[in-house]
Amino acid sequence: MLARYPINIRYPQGFRDGPTALRQLPILTPGKQQITLGDVAQVKVVSGPTMLKTENARPASWIYIDARDRDMVSVVRDLQTAINRSVTLKPGTSVAFSGQFELLEHANKKLKLMVPMTVMIIFILLYLAFRRVEEALLILMSLPFALVGGIWFLYWQGFHMSVATGTGFIALAGVAAEFGVVMLMYLRHAIEADPALQDPKTFSEERLDDALYHGAVLRVRPKAMTVAVIIAGLLPILWGTGAGSEVMSRIAAPMIGGMITAPLLSLFIIPAAYKLIALQRNKHHG
């Protein structure tokens, strides 16, 4: 049975305590002749890197950059423009940006694939729940407006777009969709509970307004409680300090801002839009 063990062999200190001693190190040639290291090499002390770094089997040198008051993507774009304009790279050399920028680019590539797939899955689930295309589209089209509060809150806090803020927006979109779905269900139940609205002959816009009003009012208190609990739970994360607080605060920020616009959207915009759908549907049946 063969085994391999790491063994380090070093000359005694007296043979390597300076350039002169190193030049006298004996070397045995293939012809069994003995020469010294100084006969075949120059031994001298020069300034150089403390260690040789490699990346993909190529020598590499790292330059660390901290961006302040700017997002990493715009900083890298400006650096790339400046390098292309004023730096001539020698053959065999290249410049690459890594770190947070590389992670953000990788995440964006994944999101370009995952977001459309997620939207399609959400639309299918909404259609299976409501059995009507226009109602499923109403929920989907309302999501961008619900995210406006998150965008404004990021601007107010001075945060830039990153993987963490993107995660917060995804979570906010889920909460906003839940708000819209529940509101739409209450509106449908309120309309279905009025027999006069089921017959095109007795259908009237006044009765429709009254049904939509009562359906929306039923959601005011539960929605206010939900928003208050979410904000109360996220504020300590936003104001927290310590390890990981910088990332967690950027996840919480979009959700806190969105908790202002998402409830307003579901309380005012969705009932108004659903009224137009109900009127168009009654006109079609009539």
Assess if residue 211 is contained within a domain.
yes
Alpha-carbon span 78 to 15, nearest angstrom: 53
> Per-residue pLDDT tens for 21-79?
888 888 888 888 889 988 898 988 888 766 667 777 778 888 888 777 777 778 888 88
| Summary mean pLDDT of the chain | 83
Assess if residue 243 is contained within a domain.
yes
Q: Given a cut of 80, is residue 1 above it in pLDDT?
A: no
pLDDT value of residue 50: 66
Confidence of residue 285 (pLDDT cuts 50, 70, 90): low
Confidence of residue 3 (pLDDT cuts 50, 70, 90): confident
pLDDT value of residue 136: 87
| pLDDT above 90 as % of the chain | 0
> What domain count does the chain have?
1
Confidence of residue 115 (pLDDT cuts 50, 70, 90): confident
- Are 172 and 150 within 8 A, CB to CB? yes
Assess if residue 9 is contained within a domain.
no
Helix H or strand E segment including 216 = helix 205-217
Assess if residue 63 is contained within a domain.
no
Mean of pLDDT values over 101-110: 81
- Are 239 and 152 within 8 A, CB to CB? no
Q: Which domain holds residue 191?
A: 115-285
pLDDT value of residue 49: 64
63 CB neighbour count, 10 Å cutoff: 7
pLDDT value of residue 59: 80
Assess if residue 137 is contained within a domain.
yes
Confidence of residue 7 (pLDDT cuts 50, 70, 90): confident
> Per-residue pLDDT tens for 150-165?
888 888 888 877 778 8
| pLDDT above 70 as % of the chain | 97
- Are 189 and 214 within 8 A, CB to CB? no
Name the token pair of 69: 């008051």
The CATH number given to whatever domain includes residue 147 is: 1.20.1640.10
> Per-residue pLDDT tens for 180-225?
888 888 888 888 888 877 777 787 888 888 888 888 888 888 888 8
Assess if residue 153 is contained within a domain.
yes
Assess if residue 27 is contained within a domain.
no
Assess if residue 166 is contained within a domain.
yes
**204-237 CB burial, b ≥16 within 10 A, e <16:** eeeebeebbeebbeebeeebeebbeebeeebeeb
What is the Cα 60 distance to its own chain's centre?
29
Mean of pLDDT values over 241-270: 83
Alpha-carbon span 186 to 223, nearest angstrom: 12
pLDDT value of residue 169: 87
> Per-residue pLDDT tens for 138-150?
888 888 887 888 8
| Stated pTM of the model | 0.65
